[in-house]
Amino acid sequence: MVPRRKKFKFRLYIAGDTQNSASAISNLAILCKKHLLNRSETEVVDVFLEPDRALADGVFMTPTLVKLNPHPVRKIVGTLILSRRLMQCLQLGEFA
């Protein structure tokens, strides 16, 4: 189990100013506020502005959330609608 003090590092790839992008950003913010207060860090990458990064990182569907820390690295595609599966993936299950 992930110790409580461990810091979470996310990278969220979005594609411009779309409905999906906005949903993903707000859903992630809610999740962090609820479960990872003050111990998460999120970088938002707009693939329209940085297309080379999308190619290099292999991000083809947007929005995509990458959990860089703690290991293992996980990729989640979609608007991050809160679900049991999402929580399990982020290893936040027992705190849900």
* Dihedral class, residue 70 (left if φ above 0, else alpha if ψ from -120 to 50, else beta): beta
How many residues bind other proteins (CB under 8 A)? The answer is 34
Closest CB to other proteins among residues 38, 81:
81
Q: Which of residues 25-64 bind other proteins (CB under 8 A)?
A: 27, 47-48, 51-52, 54-55, 58-64
Determine if 9 is a binding residue for other proteins (CB under 8 A).
no
Residue carrying the six token digits 């027992």: 94
Q: Residue 67's closest CA among 96, 85, 94, 89?
A: 89
71 SS3 class: coil
Binding region for other proteins (CB under 8 A):
13-16, 18, 20, 23-24, 27, 47-48, 51-52, 54-55, 58-64, 74-81, 83, 85-86, 89
